[in-house]
């Protein structure tokens, strides 16, 4: 069947979609979510079908195509194409097998990942895969196959360097912006660290959101490589690259149900590291009440699994279990966290010492892992690099290489609310999840200057009328929402 293209001027962000008028769909017995192949010359693509109910949307004799399809087959509005029925992806049978609780083979896992990367699975089918892995956990062999398949389906960053350092934090702690301090320390020491980071999913800021306050984080692989070769490091958003692209698609369907299957967590972290050719990786697992990981035994089990899979990948790894029982640093939200980082790098008296200490500890471990610094001397070397100003100089070098400028003044939300206490007491707990939720209600991370600035931490004494934190927002409405959230959550937030 030959049809004329109608450019829908819509992008899905990944899924390949075509739209037929209901008369044409009925004529050829096509139904919503069927798959069809669209062919233009030698280029063919499989798309998922939607049905238009009116001529206005898509008239008979035409097929509406979304931007991803047009780009894939190099087509434009008005071009003639041929459509034919398409078989369903092979991986659907593999997903059903996992839903039945059976072990997948290496080839089946590779097929699933290939279909994910090439947009052959719709969101429903991909969600079934995520749910299957959540209900019937992958064993170590399956998880290793999944990691390798995810790592090598997409681009790989190739660098003629050794060692290549990298780090990851499992997350769940408000603030905790260690990466932006560790990367320039490691790079200033002459080591290579091509750091890709994520944006926020449920937190007030991801590392990429915070770095974006200061510079461009959306680099392609060529620009990323150029930056690393020039400066020894980078701080880029992984979502702008085609590194382990299956990971981002899986995360997108995990988010609504807050599903975080352990096999996919392990594969997600290590596939990203393998895709940038990392040889030495540090993984930080914070534990504590209110963080993502609350049980030490679970953290130790996860540590063991990270180590086992890394060994199979030929990657040297060090896993540290750290205190995640309260926010780390003072700022919570992109601009406030970026300001904390600058305070530390510039040795400002307002710098948060807890964030500095943890960053130096992590950087010290990485320096020792590299083999360039003797065991036991890493922390001192990291501190020397920080205090000498070398880390700040390297940070600015990276920021400029990515298209930014040296920061003069970081803009914070103009509307604010101070939270003061009505009695004297000593702080025993600050709930990570609750304070993050209030910061998000205030507008973070979309509004870069929104969030919370902490003046006190666990163990500090507070006098009646003294401020514990300030909420920042860009407008009165969001500030009012944040104040309302604070009223509801105050009893479980700080005590």
Does residue 347 come out as left (phi exceeding 0), alpha (psi in the -120 to 50 range) or beta?
A: left
Backbone angles phi, psi at 471, to 5 degrees: -95, 135
Is 260 known to be catalytic? yes
Q: Taking a C-beta distance cutoff of 8 angstroms, is the pair 65, 6 a contact? A: yes
Contacts of 331 (CB under 8 A, 6+ apart): 175, 177, 337, 338, 339, 340, 352, 451, 452, 453, 454
Residue 65: strand pairing partners = 7, 18
CA distance 441 to 483: 9
CA distances from 68 to 36, 82, 147 (A): 15, 17, 26
Strand pairing category for 2-7 and 62-65: parallel
Q: Taking a C-beta distance cutoff of 8 angstroms, is the pair 238, 120 a contact? A: no
CA distance 4 to 78: 6
Q: Catalytic residue, from 260, 323, 354, 384: name it.
A: 260
CA distance 14 to 250: 12
CA distance 23 to 25: 5
Q: Taking a C-beta distance cutoff of 8 angstroms, is the pair 333, 412 a contact? A: no
Catalytically active residues are 260
């Amino acid at each position: 069947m030959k049809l004329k293209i109608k450019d829908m001027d819509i992008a899905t962000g990944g899924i390949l979609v075509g739209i037929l008028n209901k008369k044409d769909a009925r004529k050829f017995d096509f139904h919503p979510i069927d798959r069809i192949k669209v062919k233009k010359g030698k280029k063919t693509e499989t798309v998922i079908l939607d049905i238009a109910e009116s001529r206005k949307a898509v008239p008979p004799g035409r097929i509406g195509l979304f931007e991803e399809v047009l780009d894939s087959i190099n087509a434009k509005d008005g071009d003639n194409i041929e459509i034919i029925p398409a078989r369903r992806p092979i991986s659907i049978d593999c997903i059903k097998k996992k839903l039945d609780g059976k072990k997948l083979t290496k080839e089946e896992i590779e097929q699933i990942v290939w279909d994910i990367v090439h947009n052959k699975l719709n969101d429903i089918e991909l969600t079934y895969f995520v749910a299957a892995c959540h209900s019937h956990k992958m064993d170590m062999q399956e998880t290793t196959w999944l990691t390798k398949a995810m790592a090598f389906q997409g681009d790989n960053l190739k660098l003629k360097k050794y060692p290549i350092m990298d780090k990851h934090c499992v997350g769940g702690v408000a603030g905790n912006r260690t990466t932006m301090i560790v990367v320039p320390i490691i790079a200033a020491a002459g080591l290579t660290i091509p750091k890709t980071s994520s944006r926020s999913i449920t937190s007030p800021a991801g590392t990429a959101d915070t770095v974006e306050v200061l510079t461009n984080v959306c680099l392609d692989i060529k620009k990323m490589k150029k930056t690393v070769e020039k400066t020894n490091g980078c701080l880029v958003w992984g979502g702008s690259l085609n590194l382990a692209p299956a990971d981002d698609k899986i995360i997108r369907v995990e988010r609504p149900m807050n599903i975080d299957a352990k096999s996919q967590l392990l594969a997600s972290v290590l596939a990203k590291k393998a895709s940038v050719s990392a040889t030495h990786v540090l993984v930080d697992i914070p534990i504590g009440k209110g963080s993502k990981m609350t049980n030490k035994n679970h953290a130790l089990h996860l540590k063991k699994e990270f180590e086992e899979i890394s060994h199979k990948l030929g990657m040297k790894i060090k896993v540290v279990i750290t205190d995640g029982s309260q926010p780390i640093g003072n700022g919570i939200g992109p601009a406030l966290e970026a300001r904390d980082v600058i305070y530390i790098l510039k040795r400002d008296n307002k710098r948060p010492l807890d964030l500095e200490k943890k960053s130096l500890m992590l950087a010290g471990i990485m320096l020792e892992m590299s083999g360039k610094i003797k065991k036991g001397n890493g922390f001192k070397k990291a501190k020397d690099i920080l205090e000498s100003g070398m880390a700040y100089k390297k940070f600015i070098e990276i920021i400029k290489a990515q298209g930014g400028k040296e920061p003069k003044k970081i803009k914070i939300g103009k509307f604010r609310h101070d939270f003061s206490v009505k009695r004297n007491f000593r702080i025993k707990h600050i709930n990570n999840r609750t304070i993050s939720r209030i910061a998000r209600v205030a507008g973070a991370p979309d509004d870069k200057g929104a969030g919370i600035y902490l003046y006190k931490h666990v163990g500090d004494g507070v006098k009646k009328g003294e401020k514990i934190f300030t909420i920042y927002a860009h407008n009165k409405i969001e500030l009012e929402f944040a104040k309302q959230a604070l009223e509801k959550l105050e009893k479980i937030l700080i005590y």
